[in-house]
Amino acid sequence: MADGITRITAPNASAYTYTGTNSFLLGHERLALVDPGPEDADHSAALIRAIAGRPVDSIILSHTHRDHSAAAAEMARTLNAPLWFGGPHRLSRPLRRFERNPIRSSCDWDLVPDRVLVDGETITAGDIDIIVRTTPGHCANHLAFGIGDDLLSGDHVMGWNSTLVSVPDGSMADYFASLDKVIALPYRRYIPAHGGPIVDGPTYATALREHRQLRNSQVLAAIGNGAHTVPAIVRAIYPKQSLAVRMAARMTITAHVEYLESLGSLTVARGLPGTRITLS
């Protein structure tokens, strides 16, 4: 992808991962491995071949969703390398009574870092330096990594679609704040964890922000037209999309509703009979 950045894509293509999860080797004579990916023997073998006997100083995670992190513990043992990431997996806010995390099984709850990476610190990864950038939103411990003029943007800014924000695992307010953060940073090209490189990252991230703001407006309009539950809002905004798209949309629309509620634009009544959403 660039001097000192090699990409190896895992064979886990899906509606949520596009062509697969991108793993990265950083460095030349000494390496760091970023996002070793899912538990897949062929992908792990491909990583070992690409490493080609060079020492691996650390295994770094952008975050702890299992399509990025499931192979991390085994690769750490195989390569005798420590795990560095933004702390154990955690929710963006506590669960409410009777609430469940819809993507709980996709999260690596038991993985513990040997080193917790901190916003703004410069770390030596292999034989190159990278700057850690905290970018919560997609999930609470999400990180991006600055390398020269490039930003490894993880799932925060992907090369094929806007990212899933599923509360309470993620947070739409944090996602907006992290978009503003990366747009203001001095990185031109983004190299995401799904999809190809984004030549003008700040412009692309600005378009993602506008897309999310448009979705906020559509949510408010749907409620104004009588859609007072999340399923009803999804039907209004996504009338013809596939079931898989609507399932993902339901999670993200729930995040939009929570965000708009925090702004005072909506009132949400939650109880055993269900949830009713009205304009404030």
Side chain identity at 129, as an amino acid letter? D
Domain count, the chain: 2
Tokens representing 142?
A: 């999400």
In this structure, the answer to whether residues 274 and 247 fall within a common structural domain is yes
Look up the domain containing 82 and give its range: 5-199
Task: Look at residue 102 in the predicted model and tell me its pLDDT.
Answer: 95
Same domain, 165 and 102: yes
Element (H, E) at 268: strand 266-271
Structure tokens at 11: 């064979």
Percent of the chain exceeding pLDDT 70 equals 100
Per-residue tokens: 226: 């009588």
The last residue of a domain, from among 174, 199, 224: 199
For every residue of 105-141, DSSP letters joined together read GGB-TT---SEE--TT-EEEETTEEEEEEE--SSSTT
In a domain, 144, yes or no: yes
| Whether residues 131 and 26 fall in one domain | yes
Q: What is the CATH number of the domain that holds 88?
A: 3.60.15.10
- The pLDDT value recorded for residue 80 is 97
Task: Examine the pLDDT at 246 and tell me if it is beyond 90.
Answer: no
Same domain, 154 and 254: no
Same domain, 167 and 225: no
Q: Domain check: are 136 and 63 in the same one?
A: yes
Say if residue 187's pLDDT is above 90. yes
Instruction: Give pLDDT tens digits for 30-49.
Output: 999 999 999 999 999 999 99
Structural domain includes residue 205 = no
92 part of a folded domain: yes
In this structure, the answer to whether residues 52 and 184 fall within a common structural domain is yes
Rounded Cα–Cα distance for residues 142 and 275 (Å): 29
